[in-house]
Structure 1
C-alpha cells in the first residue's frame, strides 16, 4: 500500500514539474493582429500588458503578453487597470458586457458597458468573469458565456495492464457548481469501474462503484447557509446495491484570507441501504456532520499554484451509533497546468457498518487524474 502511494506521488510530481517547465517558456513569435489587443495593469508601478484570465475573491489572474505563465496579483498591489478586451460579468442576478477602466479601494471595479454606461461592481459580488465572445470565439469560451453561473471540472484516469491477469480500469470525477446570488447548487460524482480476467478466470467486475451527491445551499447571510443534500451510492464488490442519504441542516463558512477556508455543517439525515446477496436492508435516522475546506497557495516556484481541498461526511445513527454509521472523506491535491487543465491526486476513504465480515468496514483509494476545468 505504501509502495503504491509512493509511486503515485513520484509520478504526480514528475508530470506536474515537466508540464510546468514547458509552460514557463517564453514565446518569441511575432504577435498576430488579434494579439495586439491587450489589457494594461500597473502593479506597484510596474506596467504589464496581456489579458485578465480570472477575477478571484482576493487576487486577479493575468496572462502576460508573449509569456505562457499566469500571474496572480493581490488587489492591494494593483494601482490601475484598463482593458481593451471586452468581458462578460455576472453579479447580483445581472449580466453585463464591457471593459474594465479602473479599480477603486481594492474592492470595486469600474466598468464601462457596451452601451457606454459606467458601473461600479463590488469584486466579492462577481459570480462569473469571462472574456466576451466578441474577442474570443473559441468553443470553451462560448460555453462559459452561455452558462455564466456554472463552473466545474471533470477529471479522468485510465489504466490498462496486461500479463498473467488483464486489468482495465476507468475513473471519472466530476464537480459542478451553479451559483446565482444567494442560491447555490452543487453536483459531485465519483465513478470507478475495473474488470479483470486471466487464462483460468473469466472476465469479472473487480470494481463497480459510484458516489453522487447533490447539494442545494441558500446563503441567507454572509458566510451562513441552510442546505439540503441527497447522496446516492452503490458499491457492488462491497455488496451495496444502492444507498440513499437525504439530509438537511445549517452550515457556516470560516475564511482565512479568502484562499484558505473551512465550512462545517450540522443537520439530520436518513440513511436507506439495500444490500445484494443475502443481507437484509438497513435503514436508520442519523445525524449529519460534514466539513469541506480549501487551502490554496499561489506564486510557488515551478508549479505556480497548488490547491488542496476535500470534504468529510459522517452519518452516525441516532439510536445505535456504534452499530450503524456511514463515513466518507475525500482529499484532492491539485496543480493547474494552465487555464483549463490540471493534474490531480485524489484520495478517498470510506468507513461504514458493512454486514459482510470478509469485506470489512474500511476502504481507501488513491487516484492520479487529469482534469479539465470549465
Structure 2
C-alpha cells in the first residue's frame, strides 16, 4: 500500500508538472499559472504552492479578467473627450476657454479653469482664434466655421474649409455653437430657428375647502429679431370658477389678451413701431376691445436680454360690451419696459 501511494503521488505530480508554465516577470517576482479546461488561468506568486490554487482562485481570476475586458471594450467605444479650446488675448493676457455669446458691444467667454462667464469689450481684444466651430447669422446670411482673427476690434475673420470670410461684428444677429460641435435637440432647434425665441407657460390649479376653485392659465411669448426688424407676439389667458356648497358655480375669470408689435430700428436704439391689441373679458362685460397704435421709442441696453425701453404714440380704441353700447375713441399713451437676465458673469 505504501508503494502504491508513492506511485500515485508521482503520477499526480507528473500530470501537474505538464500543466505548469513559469512566466518571467520583474526581478523579484515569479508568477505561476494553472489552466483549467476552458483555458482560464489562476495566478499565484512564487511563495504560494501550486496545490493551493483552487477552483475558487480560478473563479476569481475569471471574474477579474472579465472585468478587465469590459473596461477595455468600454474605453474603446467611448469617444475622446472634447479638448478643443478657444484662445483670446486681452490686454496682453492669454485666456483659454470657449466663446459663449457674442453681441454688438461685447464678447462673453467661459474660461476652462473657472466657473462663470466674463464680458470682454472688443476694444480690449488683441487676438481671437477658436478651435470650436460656430454658426453665425448676419444681414440675412449665415456662415459656419472657426474664428481665426479679429481685425480693428470690429471684424471677425471666419474660416470654413480653405475660404476665409470677414464679418462685421455689428451686423451679427445671432451667434451659436455649430451642430457639429453640439448635436443636442435644443441646439439643433436654435440653429434651425435662430431669429425666433419664446416661452410657453401653462398652469392648472384646484383648491378644495369651504369653496372649491378651478383655475387655468396660459401664457405664450414669441419674439423674432432679424437685422432692423423685431416682431413680438403675446397671448395671455385666464379662467377661474368658484363653487360654494348649495350654490351654482361662480365665474371669476374668463379673459384673454392678444398683442402683436412690429418694430423697425432706425439706429442702434431708436425705433418706430406699429402694434395691435385685442382684449376679451366676460366677467367685466367686455365682448371685445381692439386698440391699434403707432409710435416711436428708444431702447437702452447692452444685449437682447438686458435693456430698458421707453415708447409713446397714439392710437384708436374700439370697444364692444355685452350689456352696454359700443364705444370708440382716439388715445395717446406712453410706456416703459425693462428686461434683465441674471447670470454668473464678471466684466473685464
More strand by share: 1
How many angstroms does 1:230 deviate by?
0.8
Map of 1:48 onto structure 2: 96
2:286 is the counterpart of 1:240: yes
TM-score by length of 1: 0.62
TM-score by length of 2: 0.66
Q: Aligned match of 1:121 in 160, 167, 187?
A: 167
| Unaligned segments of structure 2, at least 5 residues | 1-74
Map of 1:350 onto structure 2: none
Map of 1:95 onto structure 2: 142
More helix by share: 2
Map of 1:152 onto structure 2: 198
Map of 1:287 onto structure 2: 332
How is 1:29-178 mapped onto 2 (pairs within 5 angstroms)?
Answer: 33=80, 35-43=82-90, 45=93, 47-49=95-97, 51-65=98-112, 70-76=116-122, 77-112=124-159, 114-178=160-224
| Unaligned segments of structure 1, at least 5 residues | 1-29, 306-374
Q: Aligned match of 1:226 in 242, 263, 272?
A: 272
- Measured in 1, the distance between the counterparts of 2:248 and 2:79 equals 58
CA deviation string 1:13-50 (max 9, x = no partner):
xxxxxxxxxxxxxxxxx99635333433445525232x
Q: Per the alignment, do residues 243 and 85 of structure 1 end up closer, same or farther by CA in structure 2, a change over 3 Å counting? A: same
Number of aligned pairs?
Answer: 268
How many angstroms does 1:210 deviate by?
1.8
Q: Per the alignment, do residues 245 and 179 of structure 1 end up closer, same or farther by CA in structure 2, a change over 3 Å counting? A: same
Aligned-residue Cα RMSD (Å) equals 3.2
CA deviation string 1:324-362 (max 9, x = no partner):
xxxxxxxxxxxxxxxxxxxxxxxxxxxxxxxxxxxxxxx
Q: Per the alignment, do residues 108 and 253 of structure 1 end up closer, same or farther by CA in structure 2, a change over 3 Å counting? A: farther
Q: Per the alignment, do residues 270 and 192 of structure 1 end up closer, same or farther by CA in structure 2, a change over 3 Å counting? A: same
- Measured in 2, the distance between the counterparts of 1:62 and 1:159 equals 42
Greater length-normalized contact order (CA 8 Å, ≥ 6 residues apart): 1
Q: Per the alignment, do residues 34 and 245 of structure 1 end up closer, same or farther by CA in structure 2, a change over 3 Å counting? A: farther
- Measured in 2, the distance between the counterparts of 1:256 and 1:135 equals 30
Asked if 2 retains the 8 angstrom alpha-carbon contact of 1:246 and 1:271, the reply is yes
The structure with the larger Rg is 2
